[in-house]
């Protein structure tokens, strides 16, 4: 089971093949237990080494911080009053011995956003399929779905009695994506069943829903998004081309002769070529997965009454 944290690492590995500069890093000697760095009592980071630390941005877990001053003898760095949760990241506590990345090329929180942007964009072409179930009651023909955000129902079936354990497809049903809020409550949807079903049996519903973004590093890709594991590489490619597109603008302001000499080895516009290649791979894999899904879930006729 692939988690968001593993996907972020995979994107980092893929993108490192397109960059000459590698991230410099050290580690925390002591834990960070506060969320602020006030002037009266600034946060002082006790680092494993300050050889590569300078005034600027560092990354701990997914939080960016701005370092105001540093001491190479004591191996400490002072975080500016505005330095916690820098550039929109979320201030958090951090354990001792975790990695500290100095001036990260691709911050982890930016990669997480690129992954989630790709997942949401894929929803226009690739269905996120999930399932739910309920118990059939002979006295009730309309059943409520609460906060499932169903776009369409693919199939409905119920489990037959006896040793066969067969799931029999329901042919007569009607789905209401905008159920009356007065009757059912806000954000409710309903389905009305008109087939004969043995009372007390379980009804299984396969439905399409917008893919859900992953927020925590422990979130499992298939469980959270509703996509199959085979779509994981599509998200990786999509996030990679989105991030790679920003390498050239970041290098556009080089003004020193040394920087120009370095750029001569990798001409301006090189990342644009790599971006086009990744986007082509992303589009190809997305079309392949859409075709596979269409074969797996072919259109099925159902009746309302």
- Spatial distance between the Cα atoms of 289 and 60, rounded to a whole number of angstroms: 36
- Spatial distance between the Cα atoms of 295 and 111, rounded to a whole number of angstroms: 32
Of 121, 122, 119, 128, the C-alpha closest to 148 is: 128
Cβ neighbours of residue 53 closer than 8 Å, sequence gap 6 or more:
26, 47, 67, 70, 72, 77, 102
Report the pLDDT value the prediction gives residue 158, as an integer from 0 to 100: 96
pLDDT, one tens digit per residue, over 138-161 is: 999 999 999 899 999 999 999 998
Token pair recorded at residue 235: 């998200």
Report the pLDDT value the prediction gives residue 264, as an integer from 0 to 100: 54
Pairing of strands 56-60, 152-159: unpaired
Which residues are 152's β-sheet partners?
A: 208
Q: What is the DSSP string of 5-47?
A: HHHHHHHHHHHHTT-SPPPEEEEBSS-B--S---SSS--EEEB
| In contact, 160 and 169? CB cutoff 8 Å | no
Q: For the sheet with 56-60, list strands across it.
A: 24-27, 99-102, 56-60, 63-71, 76-79, 44-46
Report the pLDDT value the prediction gives residue 105, as an integer from 0 to 100: 87
Cα dihedral 246, 15, 127, 285 sign:
positive
Report the pLDDT value the prediction gives residue 265, as an integer from 0 to 100: 52
Report the pLDDT value the prediction gives residue 256, as an integer from 0 to 100: 46
Residues in the chain, pLDDT under 70:
18-21, 248-270
pTM of the model: 0.85
Report the pLDDT value the prediction gives residue 257, as an integer from 0 to 100: 47
Report the pLDDT value the prediction gives residue 269, as an integer from 0 to 100: 65
- Spatial distance between the Cα atoms of 65 and 102, rounded to a whole number of angstroms: 10
Q: Around Cβ 74, how many Cβ atoms within 10 Å?
A: 11
Cβ neighbours of residue 27 closer than 8 Å, sequence gap 6 or more:
47, 48, 97, 98, 99, 100
Report the pLDDT value the prediction gives residue 302, as an integer from 0 to 100: 83
Report the pLDDT value the prediction gives residue 253, as an integer from 0 to 100: 47
Report the pLDDT value the prediction gives residue 79, as an integer from 0 to 100: 97
- Spatial distance between the Cα atoms of 241 and 6, rounded to a whole number of angstroms: 18
Token pair recorded at residue 104: 């990260």
Report the pLDDT value the prediction gives residue 187, as an integer from 0 to 100: 86
């Amino acid at each position: 089971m692939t988690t968001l944290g593993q996907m972020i690492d995979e994107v980092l590995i893929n993108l490192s093949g397109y960059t000459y500069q590698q991230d410099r890093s050290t580690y925390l000697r002591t834990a960070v237990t506060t969320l602020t760095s006030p002037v009266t009592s600034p946060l002082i980071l006790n680092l494993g080494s300050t050889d590569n630390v300078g005034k600027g941005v560092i990354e701990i877990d997914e939080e960016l911080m701005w370092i105001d001053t540093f001491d190479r003898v004591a191996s400490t760095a002072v975080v500016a009053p505005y330095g916690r949760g820098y550039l929109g990241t979320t201030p958090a506590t951090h354990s001792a011995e975790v990695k500290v990345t100095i001036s990260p090329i691709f911050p982890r929180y930016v990669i997480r956003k690129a992954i989630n942007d790709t997942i949401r964009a894929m929803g226009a072409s690739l269905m996120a399929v999930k399932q739910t179930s309920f118990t059939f009651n002979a006295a009730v023909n309309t059943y409520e779905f609460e906060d499932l955000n169903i776009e369409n129902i693919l199939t409905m079936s119920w489990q037959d009695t006896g040793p066969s354990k067969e799931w029999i497809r329901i042919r007569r049903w009607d789905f209401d994506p905008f159920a009356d809020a007065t009757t059912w409550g806000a954000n409710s949807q309903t389905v009305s069943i008109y087939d004969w079903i043995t009372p007390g049996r379980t009804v299984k519903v396969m439905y399409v829903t917008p893919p859900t973004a992953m927020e925590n590093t422990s979130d499992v890709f298939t469980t959270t998004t509703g996509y199959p594991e085979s779509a994981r590489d599509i998200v990786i490619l999509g996030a990679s081309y989105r991030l790679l597109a920003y390498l050239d603008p970041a290098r556009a302001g080089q003004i020193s002769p040394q920087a120009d000499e370095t750029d001569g080895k990798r001409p301006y516009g090189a990342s644009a070529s790599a971006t086009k290649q990744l986007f082509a791979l992303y589009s190809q894999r997305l079309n392949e997965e859409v075709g596979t899904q269409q074969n797996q879930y072919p259109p099925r006729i159902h009746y309302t009454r």
